[in-house]
Each structure stands twice: as structure tokens, then as C-alpha cells.
Chains A and B, each alone.
Chain A
Amino acid sequence: MTTSVAAPPPRDAARPQQLRRTMRRKQTTIRWIVIAVIMAFFLIPLLSMLYFSLRFPLSGKWTGQAWSNVIHMGSLAASDPADYGQLWTGLKNSAVLVVLTVVIMVVLLVPTMTWVRLRVKWLSRTVEFICLLPLTIPAIVLVVGLGPVYRIVSNVLSTNTIWLCFVYVVLVLPFAYRALDAGLAAIDLTTLSEAARSLGAHWFRVMWQIVLPNIRSAVVSACFISVALVLGEFTIAQLLARDNLQTGIFLVSQSDGQLAVTMSLAALILAFVLLMVLSLFSGDGRRTKGAST
């Protein structure tokens, strides 16, 4: 023990500068190798999807037909209801689901979490526990108990896929809670709301014009995770026999593998672009918050 501790200093002292420089150079090389190898692992399946989408599997002919079909899906849906019709319905349903889920999530969580922080502090642990509960209840478990609940939903509303938004809100609850909680913790909620109230603002106005603008970046990141999750959801839609984007891709894959892969890649690119747009927004929010404090 003592020898290993005592030994290095003389060696270091001999050529400290040079040694450190070689070590640092070696570290930089290792760093780039690690990043390159793991990024290659990430990239290869994506490149393969592109390759698969452009090359006709049987003849090996290169063609952009699959992409043009995906782009013109709306018009193809009428002539080919089996494949494109499925996908087009799924895509439309998923788009509506994204909007409904985000709206319900914000309307349900932001006022409740604000109210709990301001007036009912003793409930905060309960709300946190409930919001994080879906982490321990996987979608495949939830769907087992959802059958009877959705039977009632179907009777009251309809069997339309868009009503899956109710359970999707539950799925995004833990992630949305964490994002919003961090946002609410970062502002002086009590002072802001009391100031607004004493100036005569109604609670609705406090939420809409005071709280929401101040936690904008948190709301944006809660929305992003919701969008990503809803666009990728398959389990509940499949087992409750509803049609969303993922079940559409799954059905199409059984007759047209190339179309399924092309659609998957298109959906992934769409999600990536959405993330970039949203991160631009949230980055903006963070900067203005930093400037004001």
C-alpha cells in the first residue's frame, strides 16, 4: 500500500510535463474511439433502414418508390385500403392522439400541481406518489385491467381510437410530472400568484398568464416526452384492438416489409425533427429565465 503511493511522485517529477501530455493525448484518442464505436452501433441500424427502404429486396434494384408512396400516402389510401389505408388511418389517429394527450396532460397537471404547491402542501407526497406510480405498472400490465374501463368508455363515447388519449395521459404522467415539478420549483410561485391575486386576477388568469409562461420550458419538455411516447405507443393500442401509427406499421409489415421499414424511418425522422424544434423553444426559455434572474 505505502509503496504504491510513494512510488509515483519521483517518476512524475522526472518528466511531468511530457508524461501528462502523452497521457492526455492517449485519453483523447480513447475518448474518440469510444464515441465512434457506440455511435456506429447507433447509426448502422438507421443506415440499414435507409438501405432497405431504397433497395427492392428481391431484385436488388434501387428505387425511391417506397418513399414516394409514403409521401403520397393520403391519395394512395383510397385505392389501396388494405395497406395504405391502414397506415393512413393510424397516422391520422396518432396525430389526433398526440394533440389530445398533450392538452389533457397540461390541463390536468399544471393547475393541480400549482394548487398543491400553494394551498394543499400536505397532499404533495400523495400526488407525487400517484404520478410516479405508472413507472411500476408497465403498459402491458395496465392493459389487462383496462378492458372493463374501456368497455365503459366505448359505451359512453365510442370505440374510436382517439379515446386512447385518456390512458396515454397516465403513461406520460411520471415524465411530465418530473419536468413540471422541476419547472415549478424553479420559480417563486407563492409571490407570483399572490401578486396576481392581489391585483385582482382570477385563478384561471393566474394559471394562463402567470404560471404557464413562467414554466414554459418545463411545459415544452413535458410535451416533448408526451409526443415521443404517444407516437411510439403500440402495446395498449394493439391489445385493445385500436388503430394507431404503430399498429398500422405492424399490420403493413406482414404484407409489405419495405413499406413498413420506410414508414418507421419516416416516423423516426419526424420525431427527431420535433425534438430539435422543441429543444430550440426550451433553450430559448432557459436563456430568458437566466437573463431575468
Chain B
Amino acid sequence: MTTTIDTPAPVSAPRPARRGHGWRSARSAIGTIPFFGYVAVFLIIPTAIVVIGAFRAPGGAFSWVNIKALGTSTVIGAFVSSVVLSAVTAAIGAVFGGLLAYVLVTGRPGSISRRIVTAVCSVLAQFGGVMLAFAFIATLGQAGMISNLLRDWLGVETTGAYLYTVPGLILVYTYFQIPLMVIVFLPAVDGIRAQWREATETLGGSTWVYWRRVAGPLLAPAFLGSLLLLFANAFSAYATAAALITQSNPIVPLQISGAITNEVNVGHADLAKSLALGMVVIVAIVMWLYALLQKRTAKWLG
């Protein structure tokens, strides 16, 4: 009420000042031009090429051809495999990583075991790619350590052929999902106060009640958020699968690389773009949900 009466009078005075301020802040924005120029060339333009290319016929006109090409059974199968692979490894990683994070936090604070495990996890979470594939070939492949031990001790012959299939990827992906979970979930578990448990006990609550009514609801958003992050992480991973599976393209990232490198079929380069767009859409939805949950977690973590 008062504002509507107040504003008209001084309007002539602040307006030039505001315009001056706006001009100055626009001039200040010049300082950010190198940054925006850089990301435009190496991030925005490539993304735009993917998005626009997904809706273009070879001639250049708008068309649904590439999007419709996603409807084939191979592509749908690849998307299903990718989603299942990511969901399963995210769930396994979240459960074991969450357990490890909880165990680390409830131990003595600042203990040596916590520092070692955290350091190991931060290296292993980055340890994706080709090297991870070779680590598992050295473990479970035909001449791997575990395969040799099984043969020498138990007389069990294993070829390790399952390692080169999508179910085999589940085991391999778990290797970087668990450490990643520890790193992203640790801050949330750190936010749990010992007093809350004591308060529950003082009020007569059992361990079950504590988890059901206090710790569970508090950790749930952070846990779900981390789960989504793990999903996106597995969904985007390419190198490990590329090093292990060379004969077929059962998951979306391999389909994309197959479409890029396929030089026989000209239209395939455009299929890569619609496949890539499909991946972006899924990852974007997951990351959006993650951001929402993150906001909720931040509220009580402070």
C-alpha cells in the first residue's frame, strides 16, 4: 500500500542513477566475455549441433526421421539395457556405499581408518575407463588371478566370458559406484548428531524406532539424491564398456560410438545425434530430480 504511494515521488531522482548503474554493470559484464565465449564454442555449440541435428534430414530440412529411427528394436533394447544396468549398479552402489559411509562416521571421529578409506574411495571413484576393464580381465578373465585360483584349488574351470556381457558390466561398474556413493553420501551421514540417538533412547525408542522415525527420514533425501547421481554416472559411462564389449553394441553409449564410426551407412551419423539427444533427456531428468532432493538435504544439513 505505502509503496504505491511512495514510489511516484522519488521516481525522477533514482531513475538516472539506476540507468547509470545498469550501464556500469553491463560494462562490468564485459569481464565475463572470455568465459562465455569459451563455453559457447566448446559446450553450447556442440550441444546445439546434437539437438538440432537430431531433427534434421540429411538434406538439412526439419524432419522426424532420426527420432523415428529410435523406435527400432535394437535401439529400444539398448536403452532398456542401459537403464537396467544403471539402476542395478546404482542400487548396489548406494546400499554398500551407504553402509560403508555410515560405518565410517559412527567410528571414532578423525580415525585413521576413515582417512584411509576416504582417500582410497576418492581415487577409485575416478578409476573408470579402460584401466578398470583391464583390472577385471586380470581378475576374472581366462588367465586372471581368481580364475587361476579357482582352477588350482577347486578344479573349477572358468573362461570369464560373462565379463564381456551386460550382466558382467554390473559387477565391473559396482567397482566405481560404491566409492562414489561413499564420497557423495558421507557429508549427509556426517550431519547426523549422536544426540538425536540419545534423545530417542531417552524417550524410550528402540534402534528400530530411531531408524524408522529419526535417521531414516532425515537421510532419505540425501540417499535418494546420491542414488540418482550414481544412476547418471553409470548411464554416461562409456570407456569401460567399450574396452570389454567389442563385438556388439548392447548399451546406448556403445550404440552412439557405433553410429559415429559406421562409415558404410551414411544416415548413421544423424542417428548418433538422436541417440545422444535421448541420453541427454534421460540424464537431464535424473539430474533435475537430484537437484530438487539436494535442496531438501541442504535445508537441514545447514
Contact = CB atoms under 8 A, between A and B. Distances in A.
A145 B47 contact: yes
B13 to A, nearest CB: 23
A204 B86 CA distance: 46
A148 interface: yes
B285 to A, nearest CB: 9
Nearest to B256: A140
A108 B257 CA distance: 31
Interface string B199-213: 000001110010000
Contacts of B29: 120, 123
A287 B268 CA distance: 55
Given A140-B256, A144-B272, A235-B238, A268 B43 contact: no
A195 interface: no
A185 interface: no
B138 A52 contact: yes
Contacts of B25: 119-120, 122
A109 B29 CA distance: 15
A56 B7 CA distance: 85
Interface stretch (A41-49, A75-83, A186-194, A211-219): A41-49
B50 A239 contact: no
Interface in B88-110: 96, 99-100, 103-104, 106-107
B276 interface: yes
Nearest to A118: B28
B38 interface: yes
B283 interface: yes
B280 A250 contact: no
B243 A108 contact: no
Interface in B62-107: 96, 99-100, 103-104, 106-107
A234 B130 contact: yes
A229 to B, nearest CB: 7
Contacts of B232: 135-136
Interface residues of A, number: 82
A32 to B, nearest CB: 9
Interface stretch (B115-123, B188-196, B214-222): B115-123
Interface string A264-285: 1001100110011001000000
A166 B36 CA distance: 14
B170 to A, nearest CB: 14
B139 A48 contact: yes
Contact of B119 (A111, A238, A279): A279
A137 interface: yes
Contact of A140 (B136, B138, B257): B257
B298 interface: no
B236 interface: yes
B39 A141 contact: no
Given A35-B113, A135-B232, A271-B126, A44 B139 contact: yes
Nearest to A30: B103
Nearest to B182: A38
A264 B38 contact: no
A250 to B, nearest CB: 5
A51 B145 contact: yes
A176 to B, nearest CB: 12
A291 interface: no
Contacts of B31: 111-112, 115, 119-120
A4 B206 contact: yes
B293 interface: no
B225 interface: no
Contacts of A169: 38, 42
A232 B135 contact: no
Max chain A Cβ within 10 angstroms of own Cβ: one of B123, B146, B205: B123
Contacts of A246: 129-131, 239
Nearest to A141: B276
A149 B41 contact: yes
B32 interface: yes
Interface string A98-136: 000000000011011001100110110001001001111
A283 to B, nearest CB: 10
B126 A228 contact: yes
B164 interface: no
B43 A130 contact: yes
A137 B205 contact: no
B206 A229 contact: no
Contacts of B238: 138-140, 234-235
11 contacts: A34-B99, A45-B136, A45-B138, A112-B34, A127-B32, A144-B50, A170-B39, A234-B243, A264-B131, A264-B134, A268-B123
A-B residue pairs, 5 tightest by C-beta: A145-B46, A138-B236, A52-B138, A145-B49, A48-B139
Given A138-B283, A141-B236, A145-B53, 19 more contacts: A5-B204, A5-B205, A35-B100, A42-B124, A44-B145, A51-B138, A134-B43, A136-B284, A138-B236, A144-B260, A144-B273, A167-B42, A228-B123, A229-B126, A238-B257, A246-B239, A250-B243, A261-B134, A275-B123
